[in-house]
Amino acid sequence: MYANEKKINKLFLFWLISSLILVFLIIIIGGLTRLTDSGLSITEWELFTGLLPPLNYNAWETYFNEYKKIPQYQLLNSSMTIDEFKIIFYWEYFHRILARLIGLFFLIPLIYFFYVNEIDKKHLKICVYVFLLIVFQGIIGWFMVKSGLVNDVTVSHYRLAIHLTTAIFIISIIFWLILNIIKKTNKNFFKFKIEYSPYIFLITLIYCQIIMGAFVSGLDAGQIYQTWPLMGDTFFPDDLSYYNFFEFNNHSLIQLYHRILAYLITLYVLFLSIFIIKKKISNLYFPLIILIFFLITQGVLGIFTLVSGLNIYLASAHQITGVLLVLCALNLYYFRTK
């Protein structure tokens, strides 16, 4: 009996790690879908259809004709050929297929683990919350796409931010649960104590930066000022005025906030490092080194992405490192908690 329980727990851990990898993969593909402006190529939700791509010329014509009706084609891509359309179509198609796969991959084993009744109920309860977030993520994804089908050439950056943040929450919760299972503990995801507040604040700052990054991506704000460390010839962009600092549709302002948050996070990690070393919290040294490594990598990639004119490979690497930075901050916080 014990051997069977141990086997099922190993299967449960393997399932969670596989789920984390799949969520990480869809964040990468989702980022590339946005970077290639492919997200509006399929203009219907197709929740229960669209499992197969178009298999003949007539089917391709149908999808292409639907795309021709939206502003993105009419204002930006009116010279696009059907072969060019296929490229952006497949980015969105694979994004949607992977989303369906994740939903099924998470739901079916979850039902099985409930059935065998040998997994910690607290773990299963968290998995139910994760599944609900996955469902919510799918709904938000379509809600986001709809925003770019009528009056705009791209999706709403607010909806894009919700879509990305939900994905970050999902991968964060799965990662935390995996740590609990590996370490055979049941630490709370956020346990509010004064001694933990510096680490929670760091995670909050990085989450805010993820949101701001989504704003930059959604508005194509990286195309405005492609210089560093100055924005043009000054630190503050010269097209801002004192009264519009809460105007989150302003491309220059959003890029400025993204830069300032990056500087703030870097300074905060520096002070946090001094605090950890001064207090001799030795079990945090290695997680801190990993965090600093990815923070530096993220900053360098961000700069090179900007000055390269938004090179797609650098931009994708910048997004990937952003997710890894979140996990590093969570890892640091995990080893601080009791």
DSSP for 49-105, please give it. Answer: S--S---SHHHHHHHHHHHTTSHIIIII-TT--HHHHHHHHHHHHHHHHHHHHHHHH
CA dist 93 → 26, 41, 145, 163, 264 (Å): 12, 9, 13, 17, 38
Amino acid in the structure at residue 195: E
Closest CA to 28 of 290, 264, 321: 321
231 three-class SS = strand
Specify the pLDDT at position 5. 63
Q: Which residue has the tokens 């402006």?
A: 37
Specify the pLDDT at position 268. 98
Omega within 30 of 0 (cis) for the link into 229: yes
Domain-terminating residue out of 189, 218, 249: 189
Could you tell me the pTM of the whole model?
A: 0.93
Lowest mean pLDDT among 15-19, 42-46, 169-173: 42-46
pLDDT (tens digit per residue) in 239-263: 776 557 777 888 889 999 999 999 9
Count of CB atoms within 10 A of residue 91's CB? 21
pLDDT exceeds 90 at position 64: yes
Cβ-count burial 192-209 (b if 16+ within 10 Å, e if not): eeeebebbbebbebbbeb
Lowest mean pLDDT among 11-15, 196-200, 233-237, 267-271: 233-237
Amino acid in the structure at residue 93: Y
Specify the pLDDT at position 239. 76
Are residues 84 and 224 both part of a single domain?
Answer: no
Are residues 3 and 115 both part of a single domain?
Answer: yes
Domain that holds residue 198: 190-338
Are residues 33 and 135 both part of a single domain?
Answer: yes
Closest CA to 259 of 284, 294, 232: 232
Specify the pLDDT at position 338. 81
Average pLDDT over residues 27-35: 94
Are residues 150 and 217 both part of a single domain?
Answer: no
Specify the pLDDT at position 238. 79
DSSP-derived secondary structure for 207-250:
HHHHHHHHHHHHHTGGGT---SSSBTTBSS-TT--GGGTT-TT-
Average pLDDT over residues 43-67: 89
Specify the pLDDT at position 16. 96
Backbone angles phi, psi at 231, to 5 degrees: -100, 95
Are residues 22 and 169 both part of a single domain?
Answer: yes
Q: What is the band of 193 on the pLDDT scale with cuts at 50, 70, 90?
A: confident
Average pLDDT over residues 287-299: 97
Using a 10 angstrom Cβ sphere, with 0-12 exposed, 13-18 middle and 19 or more buried, the burial of residue 58 is: exposed
Are residues 123 and 203 both part of a single domain?
Answer: no
Are residues 167 and 210 both part of a single domain?
Answer: no
State the Cα–Cα distance between residues 67 and 44, nearest whole angstrom.
10
State the Cα–Cα distance between residues 180 and 55, nearest whole angstrom.
46
pLDDT (tens digit per residue) in 198-235: 999 999 999 999 999 999 998 988 888 889 999 888 88
CA dist 182 → 7, 36, 43, 176 (Å): 14, 38, 43, 10
Domain-terminating residue out of 162, 189, 216: 189
DSSP state of 284: G
pLDDT exceeds 80 at position 1: no
Strand partners for 231: 234
pLDDT exceeds 90 at position 137: yes
Specify the pLDDT at position 120. 85
Are residues 178 and 231 both part of a single domain?
Answer: no
Q: Please, are residues 46 and 201 in contact by the beta-carbon 8 Å criterion?
A: no
Specify the pLDDT at position 325. 97
Q: What is the band of 2 on the pLDDT scale with cuts at 50, 70, 90?
A: low
Are residues 161 and 195 both part of a single domain?
Answer: no
Q: Give how many domains the chain has, as a whole number.
A: 2
Average pLDDT over residues 127-137: 96
pLDDT (tens digit per residue) in 69-107: 999 999 998 899 999 999 999 999 999 999 999 999 999
CA dist 212 → 13, 139, 191 (Å): 33, 22, 25
Mean pLDDT for all residues in the chain: 91
Are residues 250 and 185 both part of a single domain?
Answer: no
Are residues 184 and 209 both part of a single domain?
Answer: no
State the Cα–Cα distance between residues 205 and 203, nearest whole angstrom.
5
Lowest mean pLDDT among 146-150, 174-178, 189-193, 239-243: 239-243
Domain-terminating residue out of 189, 208, 240: 189
State the Cα–Cα distance between residues 40 and 150, nearest whole angstrom.
11
State the Cα–Cα distance between residues 45 and 138, nearest whole angstrom.
10
How much of the chain exceeds pLDDT 90, in percent?
Answer: 71
Are residues 107 and 232 both part of a single domain?
Answer: no
State the Cα–Cα distance between residues 257 and 237, nearest whole angstrom.
11
Q: Which residue has the tokens 């346990």?
A: 191
